[in-house]
Chains A and B, each alone.
Chain A
Amino acid sequence: MSNDIVLETRGLTKHYGGVQALNDANFILKKGEHVAIMGDNGAGKSTFVRQITGVEQRTSGDVIFDGQPVNFTGPIDAREAGIETVFQTLALADHLDVPDNLFLGREKTKLDWLGPFRLLDYKSMRQDTLDALERTGVKIPNIRNTIERMSGGQRQCVAIARTASFASKLTIMDEPTAALGVQETAQVENIIRTLKEQGEPLILVSHNMRQVMDLVDRIIVFRRGRIVANLRKEETDGQDIVAYITGAKTGAEYEGAA
């Protein structure tokens, strides 16, 4: 039973001084599952993500990842454990090309005894990049182009391909299409579908109702720092979700929470 749980949080809480940004969040993500996190601005979505990815340290509660209680001291820690995050602000180096960005901080190298001056294995990184792009269905005209010469959609695709090019156990995307046009959004959504087909679990933070209903299995609604609903996609609709987001409704098991 616990074997197919990828991520679980128990009583996850985060206070910023006197502000309770996140309160007693109990959350479960199963293998291969795509879950959306929704809620109004300041509802605690991003705070929740930041506690899981180690960007911030939680006030109290437990995070169990891959069967182990974890205490990430930073985003690098979380990534090494297998949580890949596509941040709202793209973490890409504009002057570098696609393989450079995919492998930034974890370059394939030769002659490792040279320490910081060890050689980069460009050939192998390029091949892996092509493989990763093919796997995720990302189309980029020329991978040797620097990021600064790419459209917003292409950049986002590179950021997502980066998470997919390493054997990650969980992908988290924080509003991946917030700044994109219609066509570019479609491209990113296609990548998310590809991840679903490959059984990669995903947490998607999004404001886009259509996108959420299109892509995920389950929707978690946050309101004022608390989880107020846990809805299966088949058992809900847009209006229902909006009711939970605005506070018109609260899930039965979360009564008295907010």
Chain B
Amino acid sequence: MADTSQGVGGLTFDKSKRSWPNELNILLALVIIIVVFEAIGQFAPYMNGQSFLFDTKDRFDSIFNEARLQIIILQVAIIGIIALGVTQVIITGGIDLSSGPLVAATAMIAMSFAQVAEVNGFPNPKALFGPWAMDLPVIVPVVIGLAFGACIGIINGTFIAYFRIPPFIATLGMFLFCRGIALWWSGGNPVSFPTDAYAWIGSGMMPVVWFVLLAIIFQLIMSYTVYGKHTYAIGSNEEAARMSGINVKRHKVMVYMIASMLAAFAGIVLSSKAVTAQAGMGEFYELFAIAMAVIGGISLQGGRGSIIGTVLGAMVLGVIRSGFTYIKLDGSYQLMAMGAIIVAAVILDQYRQRNRA
């Protein structure tokens, strides 16, 4: 009798024969980008032999320039949290443009339930509500913020799944709607002076902690749970998913809800980090989140990509931004170069996918 674990006719599930994962390519690209910046720093005459990655001044008694590494990851952590949700939406074959304004709206709403009654002995000058909303436990603004995000996500998902509005249009509408909410909430005034507990959420390296923690959780969810499998299946072949008995509409609503809750959480972290909430916050965040996912190899056609890819995409974006500043490239050139890099990443990815089969 043939060994069933090997099957018949060369039927195997040999782990060593699995394909070269896409994520390794992005990691490789990341390493190359770092090396290029390092080389420019070492050899370009105007750089005076500075190092991008290594600690040359010996200020921190370590090999690496930790301050730079921290800034690299800190400046992408909050948008990275949004990108985790956007990744799931894109894997279903959709898109979410509403996340940037949602960050601002959630920041305004959550912060207004996180204010302290007194600042240096005087009443809070930015107080939005009466005394009843002052000095509340930190759980209140967080839950209100996440619940708001969930509502927005459910509305997005319902329009897309049940009313068959294209995701681009539905979330574009929500994009404007949420920016409107952010402006209307306090009549355009900033909301400030949060409780210590609320300020802790985004203090120091906490955004990075949340980003890494959530990335690990969602990577596991996408790989090992029914939710993840159905998300990939819908993006891969929606008709097949429906035929297989998956409740596609309900699942899509859930994906948009989770994405919006992640964006809402990013809004909480951002307002905590900035210790204030303003209606103009989170501008272009939705586009940078999409860019992270796209650089990370998430196909806009759906069905392909992973959370790890998006995390690497976020790192690439962070390294590029930090590196451009480091080689003293003007801000306007930085934007032009980043635009080119995003398009180049997709061209490379498509070229690679075509040559795979």
Contacts and interface: CB of A to CB of B under 8 A. Distances in A.
B8 A139 contact: yes
Interface string B234-277: 01110111011110000000100000000000000000000000
A152 interface: no
A96 B235 CA distance: 11
Contacts of B236: 93-96
Contacts of B122: none
B227 to A, nearest CB: 4
B303 A117 contact: no
B246 A104 contact: yes
B9 interface: yes
A141 interface: yes
Given A96-B236, A141-B10, A120 B226 contact: yes
Interface residues of A, number: 40
Interface string A209-236: 0000000000000000000000000000
Contacts of B13: 126, 130, 142-144
Contacts, number: 110
B224 interface: yes
B229 A75 contact: no
B18 interface: yes
Contacts of A89: 239
A114 interface: yes
B232 A95 contact: yes
A142 B241 contact: no
Interface in A112-128: 114, 116-120, 122, 126-127
B237 A120 contact: no
B221 interface: yes
B11 A143 contact: yes
Interface in A74-121: 75-76, 79-80, 87, 89-96, 100, 104-107, 109, 114, 116-120
Given A91-B237, A144-B14, 20 more contacts: A80-B245, A92-B240, A93-B232, A94-B237, A94-B303, A104-B233, A104-B241, A106-B245, A116-B225, A116-B227, A116-B254, A117-B227, A120-B226, A126-B13, A130-B5, A130-B13, A133-B8, A134-B4, A148-B357, A149-B357
Interface of A: 75-76, 79-80, 87, 89-96, 100, 104-107, 109, 114, 116-120, 122, 126-127, 130-131, 133-134, 139-144, 148-149
7 contacts: A76-B243, A94-B303, A95-B235, A117-B225, A134-B4, A134-B11, A139-B9
